[in-house]
Amino acid sequence: MKPTIIISTYPDKQSIVSIANELVKKKFAACVNITKISSIYFWKGKIENTSEFLAIFKTTYKNKKIIVQKIKETHPYQIPEIIEIEVSSINKPYLKWLVDSTL
């Protein structure tokens, strides 16, 4: 089974926690890491400097479309960040846990 990581940023913790809980409960994601970050970016003609929450969704290749669709349906941003990372190296015990923790 091929592992995949999906990354997205959210404006506040509340907007990601319920989505993360749902995806883990339904076994579409094995884990979602959520951490507070500072972001500097260009938006609507000016530089923004704001706090956000980074969500790292750990899943398998077969579940990535479900997670991406859920992010698109529920994300509060006009243009949500959705980055998919293909994992080329992962330790075998962690991969087994990830696969066993998802559908």
Domain that holds residue 34: 3-100
DSSP string, 17-81: HHHHHHHHHTTS-SEEEEEEEEEEEEETTEEEEEEEEEEEEEEEGGGHHHHHHHHHHH--SSS--
- pLDDT at residue 62 in the model: 96
Tens digits of residue pLDDT in 21-43: 999 999 999 999 999 999 999 99
Number of domains in the chain: 1
CATH number of the domain encompassing residue 23: 3.30.70.120
Tens digits of residue pLDDT in 52-81: 999 999 999 999 999 999 999 999 999 999
- pLDDT at residue 56 in the model: 98
- pLDDT at residue 54 in the model: 98
Confidence of residue 48 (pLDDT cuts 50, 70, 90): very high
- pTM of this prediction exceeds 0.85: yes
